[in-house]
A and B are shown apart, each in its own frame.
Chain A
Amino acid sequence: MAQVAERQETYAAAFERFRTTPAFGPEWLRTARSAAFGRFLERGFPTTRDEEWKFTNVAPVAATPFQRVNEDASVSAETLEPFLFGDSLRLQAVVVNGRFAPALSSLKDLPAGVTISTFVEALAAHESLDGPSLKSDHAFVSLNTAFFEDGIFVHVDPKAVITEPIHVLFLSAPGSTPALVAPRLMVVAGEQSQVSLVESYAGLGTSSVLTTAVTEVMLGPGAVVDHVKIQRETAQAFHLASTFVHLHRSSTFASRAITFGGRIARNDITATMAGEGAECTLNGLYVADGDTLVDTHTTIDHAQAHCPSHEIYKGILSGRSKAVFNGKIIVRPDAQKTDAKQTNKALLLSPDATINTKPQLEIFADDVKCTHGATIGQLDEDGLFYLRARGISEKDARNMLIHAFASDVLNGVANEVVRARLEALLLEKLHLPS
C-alpha cells in the first residue's frame, strides 16, 4: 500500500508540474482535468476486487513509476514506415508520445469537408470538445483527461462524404524510463456525413509504457463512420484504452478492433444508441502469445428503439496468454424492437492459454431480440486432416484454418492494403510462414 501511495504522489507531483505548462489548456479544460485527477486520486487504480477488473490485475501498472515524457522524441520518417500504409493511406496524422508531430504527418491535401486539428486549434475555432469521457470515473480515462497534451480532433462537415480513409497513428517512444503516454482522439461526424478512419497504436524501444488511450466518436443524425483500430505496441506496453461512441438517430458506426497485445491490452468500448434507427457493429480480433493479457469490455447501450447492433469478437491465444471478454448489452425501457447479436469465439492454440468470457444482458424492454453465444475451442482436427489429405502441408493447413477463423472479422476491413497488412501481422504474431 505504501508503494501505491508513493506512486500516487508521483502522479500528483507530475500533475502539479503539468499545471504550470501552456499545454494544460484553457479554463474549462483545467477544471475538467482537475476534477478527473481528483477522481483518480480518490479511487486509485482498480484491483481484482473490482467486478470490472476481476480477471485483469493491473498491479504491475500501479507498481511502475510511469513518467510523462518531457522531451520531444526524435523519430525519423524511416522508423515510422512499417506503421504507415504508404500511398494507400495518404491522409495521416502522427502523434508521438501524445504530441502531434506535424513534420511526420501529411494533412496538406485534405479533401473538402474534413478538418483535422489539435484540440487547441479546435478550441480556437470554437468547437465544443465536451465528450462523454470527461465525466468518466474509469481510472485510466481520468489519468488521460488529466495528462493528455495534443488531442487530435477530426471534424467532418454535415453531408460531406470523405472517401479516402484517414489514418491517425499514435506512436509511443519511451526513453530509458517507463513512460506515461496519453493519446486522445475525438471524431465528430456531422449530420449525414461519411468518413472512414484507421486509428493505430504502435511502439518503439524497450522501456515500459503506459498508454491510456481515449477515443470519442460522435455521430450526427444519419452519419456513417467506419472505424478500424489496430493495436500493435511493444511487449512492454500496457495499453489501457477506452472508446466512447455516441450515435444519433439513423447513424451507422462499424468498428473492427484488431489487438496484438503487449503486456496488458485492455479495451473498454461503450456505444450508446441515443437515437432511433441507429446501427452499430463492434467486431474485433485479438491475438495474444507469451504472457500477454488481452481484455475486451464492450457495452452497447440501447437507449432508443429500432436499433440493431452486431458484435463478433474472436480471439487467438497461444503460449500462456490470457484473455477476458465481457460483452454487456443494455436495453433500456424505451428501446423496443432492439435487435442485438453478440458472439465471442476463442481459439486456444496452447494448453496453457486461458479465456474468461461473459455475456452480460440487462434488458428492460419487452419487445426485443437479443442473442449471444460463446465458443472456445482448438483448431478443428477433422478440418486439418481434410486439408492435408488434399496435399496441403500441416503448417499451411494450420495457417489456413487460423486465417479462416479470423476472416469474418478481417474481411470487414474495407481497405485492401490495411487488410493485407493485418493478415501479415497475424501470421507474424503466430510465427507462421506467410
Chain B
Amino acid sequence: MLLEIKDLCVSAEDKDILKSLNLSVNAGEVHAIMGPNGSGKSTLARALSGHPGYAVTGGSITYNGKDLLDMAPEERACEGVFMAFQYPVEIPGVNNAYFLKAALNAVRKHRGEQELDAVEFMTLIREKASLLEMDQSMLHRAVNEGFSGGEKKRNEIFQMAVLEPKLAVLDETDSGLDIDALRVVANGVNALRSPDRAIVVVTHYQRLLDYIVPDFVHVLSGGRIVRSGGKELALELEEKGYGWIDAVAGAGA
C-alpha cells in the first residue's frame, strides 16, 4: 500500500476539520475525493503536503511504509509526494525554470540520482511543457506571477510532470478552468497515470472526472469519508447533489 491514512484528525485555526478520516490508496490507482464546501477536502490535501497552518491532532499517515507526519514538507516532496495547489503562490523575482531546476535537483539528489545540468534540464522541461501545451515564455517568467488562473493550474501539472511524483494530490485543480484548459490539464494528468503512481483528485465537481476517470470515488462530509464507491458514485452525486449525502450521513450517524 502506498498511502494509508488512519483515524486522521486535523485542525486549522483551532477548529477541528478532519475527524477520524480513513483512506487507503494503492500504487496505480486514481482516487477522487468529493464533497461540499467546508467538508475538509482541501484540509486533507494540505495535511498531506505538510502545510504549517494545519495541525494533525490525531491518527496517522503511512506513506510508502514511512511515517509521513514525521517529515518536513520538503522531505515529503523529495520522497515523491506532490500537491498541486488550489491557489498556486506568485513568487516575484524567482524564474520559473530556475525554481523548477532547483526543485528537480533537490528531489534527484534525495533519490541518489545525479543532478541534471542546464542542457539536460532544458531538454526535459521543453518536452514536458509541450505535453501541457504551455507557451515556452512561461518558463522564463517569475513563478506564477501575472499568470491567469488557467496558466497557474497548468503550471502546477507541468511541475508535476517534471518532478514525476509517486503520489500526486490535486487540490481542486479544475476550479477556474475553462473547458479547453480543463482538457489540457486532464491530458497532462492522464499522461502521468502509471502502475507505480497514485493520484488523489480533490474536486467539488464531477466534470473533471469525465476526463480523469477515477478508480474510486470517496465522499467527504463533516470531516470524514461517508461514502466510497466506483466512478458511478460521482455521477450519482452530480444528479442528486450533496444534500442527499448529508441526509444519508445524518441518518447513518
Contact = CB atoms under 8 A, between A and B. Distances in A.
Interface of A: 380-383, 385-394, 396-397, 400-401, 403-405, 407-408
B93 A407 contact: yes
Given A391-B78, A394-B72, A394-B74, A386 B89 contact: yes
A209 B137 CA distance: 50
A407 to B, nearest CB: 4
A389 B91 contact: no
B83 interface: yes
Given A404-B93, A408-B93, A385 B106 contact: no
21 contacts: A385-B51, A386-B85, A386-B88, A387-B91, A388-B50, A389-B51, A389-B85, A390-B106, A391-B74, A391-B77, A391-B78, A392-B74, A392-B102, A394-B72, A396-B106, A400-B94, A401-B94, A403-B93, A403-B94, A404-B92, A408-B93
Given A396-B106, A401-B91, A408-B93, A388 B99 contact: no
A334 B103 CA distance: 54
A389 B73 contact: yes
B217 interface: no
A212 B143 CA distance: 43
Given A400-B99, A400-B102, A390 B159 contact: yes
Contact of A383 (B89, B100, B103, B110): B89
A392 B103 contact: yes
B74 A393 contact: yes
B74 to A, nearest CB: 5
A391 B88 CA distance: 15
A387 B85 CA distance: 12
Interface residues of B, number: 32
B163 interface: yes
Contacts of A381: 52
B91 A388 contact: no
9 pairs of A and B residues whose beta carbons are closest in the complex: A404-B93, A391-B77, A390-B103, A386-B89, A391-B106, A388-B73, A407-B93, A391-B107, A388-B74
A380 B92 CA distance: 11
Among B76, B88, B106, the one with the most A-chain Cβ atoms within 10 Å of its Cβ is B106
Contacts of B110: 391
Nearest to A400: B94
Given A390-B106, A393-B106, A404-B93, 10 more contacts: A383-B89, A385-B73, A385-B89, A387-B103, A388-B50, A390-B77, A390-B82, A390-B99, A391-B78, A392-B102
Interface in B218-232: none
A324 B57 CA distance: 45
B106 A404 contact: no
Contact of A404 (B85, B94, B103): B94
A389 B93 CA distance: 18
A17 B243 CA distance: 94
A213 B106 CA distance: 45
B173 interface: no
Interface in B146-160: 159
Given A388-B72, A388-B73, A389-B49, A383 B106 contact: no
Given A391-B106, A396-B102, A404 B77 contact: no
A313 B70 CA distance: 41
Among B49, B50, B99, B100, the one with the most A-chain Cβ atoms within 10 Å of its Cβ is B99
B159 A386 contact: no
Contacts of A401: 91, 94
Nearest to B106: A391
Nearest to A393: B74
Nearest to B90: A383
Contacts of B142: 404
A394 B91 CA distance: 15
B146 to A, nearest CB: 15
Interface string B62-104: 0000000000111011100011010011111110000110111
Among A381, A390, A401, A404, the one with the most B-chain Cβ atoms within 10 Å of its Cβ is A390
B90 to A, nearest CB: 8
B160 to A, nearest CB: 10
Interface string B161-186: 00100000000000000000000000
A385 B52 contact: yes
Contacts of B107: 391
A243 B54 CA distance: 51
Nearest to B92: A404
Contacts of B89: 380, 382-383, 385-386
A218 to B, nearest CB: 34
Contacts of B100: 390
A401 B92 CA distance: 9
B106 A392 contact: yes
A380 B90 CA distance: 10
Among A386, A393, A403, the one with the most B-chain Cβ atoms within 10 Å of its Cβ is A386
A408 B94 CA distance: 11
Nearest to B76: A389
Given A394-B72, A401-B94, A403-B93, A389 B88 contact: no
A387 B93 contact: no
A408 B106 CA distance: 26
Contacts of A390: 74, 77, 82, 99-100, 103, 106, 159, 163
Contacts of A394: 72, 74
Contact of B91 (A391, A393, A404): A404
Nearest to B103: A390
Given A391-B107, A391-B163, A394-B74, A386 B102 contact: no
